[in-house]
């Protein structure tokens, strides 16, 4: 049938979509690049970003996790305050808004009902909205004032992969464009840095056997798994845990490294897998301290670090990328480990139980 043709030689859409990520990133660079090699987004989006005093990012699921990284990018590159909210919560518990807010809706499908509820509400209040989506003709795109396309191509697997990295790449360009519009001097070339990210993704996608082995070693029999990281690594831990839960049904949680001791460490038993991410220089020592804490209580730690920060015994060392963009690269092993864990457990990778690709009911 048609879906078999689209899958090509891949056994699952998820694996195909993981592999497409370097191409998606290069495609985004190409679509948003000017002839002179600089980035320039739409003038209206530029002025909306520039004139707002606070940005409210609204999303659900994996897109919410991309939003957490997006906040860092906009705050660190464009120096504008950002809040990130779960759509279904925002609707019923709206925070105090700033005087001149701009809303950013992030949605792969552009159809998520929880987001639409917020969009209708804020439009009624007269606020402006930008939708970042993979489907430009979608409801959220049509009803917002502006749209940025993530150019990911159709994502079929229920577990989102390439949409997440595409959203973060577009956030990078949005942050840089806003910085430029605000006269901020940057020592960060997004085209170059995203190019390095795409190359790193390709290197990782060529080493699937390594991640299959990690899945075998750590996840074949376990009933749970923890992901720990600090700073940017914490956000990608949330996404890694969601991926693993969604498709392998292993109970998984992502935690901020320093927060574990305030309760969750009680769950660590002999052999509990703890996947620790260490790609941020300023927290490298402290996350490794957290790994020692769980190891002392019997955990089976699996450290994924980055070139320049590696230590003996790390399970995998990622190729080096700019410290603001590590999440785009770190997530690839986490996606692949989840994929193989689900595969080894005989789960339906592309169509996990109880989940839908796009949730159009509240």
Where do contacts with ligand G6P occur on this chain (CB under 6 A)?
A: 60-63, 107-109, 112, 115, 158, 160, 355-359
> Residue for token digits 């390709």?
202
Give the shortest CB-103-to-ligand G6P separation in angstroms.
Answer: 14
Q: Whose Cβ is closer to ligand G6P: residue 148's or residue 299's?
A: 148
Nearest alpha-carbon partner for 224 in 179, 267, 263, 185: 267
Which two three-digit tokens encode residue 176? 């840089």
Which residue is catalytic, options 7, 50, 351, 357?
A: 357
Give the shortest CB-60-to-ligand G6P separation in angstroms.
Answer: 4
Q: Whose Cβ is closer to ligand G6P: residue 60's or residue 74's?
A: 60
Give the shortest CB-236-to-ligand G6P separation in angstroms.
Answer: 15
* Catalytic status, residue 357: yes
Q: State the residue number with the nearest CB to ligand G6P.
A: 61
| Nearby residues of 56 by Cβ (< 8 Å), 6 or more positions away | 82, 83, 85, 90, 97, 101, 102, 103, 104
Phi (first) and psi of residue 6, to 5 degrees: -65, -35
Q: Whose Cβ is closer to ligand G6P: residue 62's or residue 327's?
A: 62
The DSSP line for 86-107 is EHHHHTTSPPPP-SSEEEEEEE
| Nearby residues of 328 by Cβ (< 8 Å), 6 or more positions away | 25, 165, 168, 169, 197, 201, 321
Give the shortest CB-105-to-ligand G6P separation in angstroms.
Answer: 8
Q: In whole angstroms, give the CA distance from residue 213 to residue 344.
A: 11
Q: Whose Cβ is closer to ligand G6P: residue 200's or residue 331's?
A: 331
Residues annotated as catalytic (active site), given as ranges: 357
């Amino acid at each position: 049938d048609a879906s078999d043709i689209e899958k090509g030689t891949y056994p699952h859409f998820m694996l195909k979509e993981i592999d497409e990520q370097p191409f998606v990133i290069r495609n985004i660079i190409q679509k948003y690049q000017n002839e002179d090699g600089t980035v320039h987004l739409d003038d209206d989006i530029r002025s909306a970003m520039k004139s707002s005093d606070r940005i409210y990012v609204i999303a659900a699921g994996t897109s919410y996790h991309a939003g957490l990284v997006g906040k860092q990018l906009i705050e660190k590159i464009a120096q504008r305050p950002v809040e990130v909210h779960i759509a279904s919560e925002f609707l019923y518990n709206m925070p105090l808004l700033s005087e001149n807010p701009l809303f950013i809706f992030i949605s792969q499908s552009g159809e998520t009902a929880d987001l639409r509820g917020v969009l209708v509400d804020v439009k009624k209040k007269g606020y402006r909205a930008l939708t970042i989506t993979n489907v430009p003709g979608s409801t959220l795109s049509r009803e917002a004032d502006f749209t940025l396309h993530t150019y990911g191509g159709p994502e079929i697997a229920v577990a989102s992969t390439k949409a997440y990295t595409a959203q973060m790449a577009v956030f990078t360009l949005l942050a840089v464009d806003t910085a430029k519009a605000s006269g901020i001097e940057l020592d960060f070339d997004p085209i170059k840095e995203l190019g390095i990210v795409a190359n790193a993704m390709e290197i990782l996608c060529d080493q699937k056997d390594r991640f299959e082995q990690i899945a075998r070693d750590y996840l074949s029999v376990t009933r749970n798994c923890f992901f720990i990281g600090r700073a940017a690594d914490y956000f990608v831990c949330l996404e890694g845990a969601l991926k693993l839960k969604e498709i392998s049904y292993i109970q998984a949680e992502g935690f901020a490294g320093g927060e574990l001791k305030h309760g969750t460490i009680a769950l660590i038993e002999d052999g509990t897998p703890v996947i620790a991410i260490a790609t941020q220089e300023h927290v490298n020592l402290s996350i490794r301290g957290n790994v020692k804490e769980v190891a002392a209580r019997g955990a089976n730690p699996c450290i994924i670090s980055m070139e320049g920060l590696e230590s003996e015994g790390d399970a995998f060392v990622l190729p080096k990328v700019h410290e603001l963009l590590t999440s785009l690269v770190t997530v690839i092993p986490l996606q692949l480990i989840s994929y193989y864990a689900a595969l080894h457990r005989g789960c339906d990778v592309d169509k996990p139980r109880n989940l839908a690709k796009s949730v159009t009911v509240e």
